[in-house]
Each structure stands twice: as structure tokens, then as C-alpha cells.
Amino acid sequence: MNALEFQNRTKAMAVRVIRLTEALPNTRSADVIGRQLLRSATSTAANYRAACTAKSKHDMINKLRIVQEEADETMFWLELIIDTNTLPLERINDLRGEVQQILKMTIASINTLSRNTKPR
């Protein structure tokens, strides 16, 4: 998968999260979780886009680490929605799988770049 395809994939994930947050019930806890989920998912996509314009391999690695953190946080909020039965598992499971794949690919990219980059 090339960088543009991965950009599109992270953006599509963010769009799915936007739609999911619109489906959350109108409760205080769902509002808090939804806002956090929305922030972390959109940040994943935005930070990957920034990583694609990195000035160096070190800069790209640092930006990808932010993508990793945000994707992991997105997983946390999705898990919290599941654990609290805020939405049915069937509604979230596919999205959770997609976020997990994005997280794994980001970690693999960081590891590959780190192996191929001289230390500063």
C-alpha cells in the first residue's frame, strides 16, 4: 500500500468514526466518549497526512509515532463504547478491526524506517 492509499484509508476511518459518533445516544457519558473518539480518529488521519510531508526520515518517524498514539487512543474509546454497551458490538466490530490494522501498519512502518535510519 502506498502513502496516498494509506492517507485515503486513514481519512475513510475518520469519516466512519464521524458517522459513528453521530449515532451515539444523547447521554453525558456518550458525549464525552464521542468527543474523545472524534478527536483521536481525526487526529490519526491528519497526522498521517503530516507524516507524508516530513522533512526527513527522523521527522517522519516522530510523526508516525503520533499517528500510532492517536490510533491506539481511538482503539481505547471504541473499546469503552463496547464495554459500556453504548452501541452494539456489531456496529463497532468492523471499525475496530480497521483501526487495529491501521495501528499495526503504522507500527510496521515505524519499525522499518527505524531499522533503515542512522541514529542522530
Instruction: Give residue-wise pLDDT tens across range 78-97.
Output: 999 999 999 999 999 999 99
Give the predicted TM-score (pTM) of the model.
0.93
pLDDT at 117: 76
Whether the CB-CB separation of 73 and 37 falls below 8 Å is answered with no
What's residue 51's pLDDT?
97
Q: How far, in Å, CA of 99 to CA of 77, rounded?
A: 11
Q: In this predicted model, what pLDDT tens digit does every residue of 6-57 receive, in sequence order?
A: 999 999 999 999 999 999 999 999 999 999 999 999 999 999 999 999 999 9
Note the pLDDT of residue 46: 98
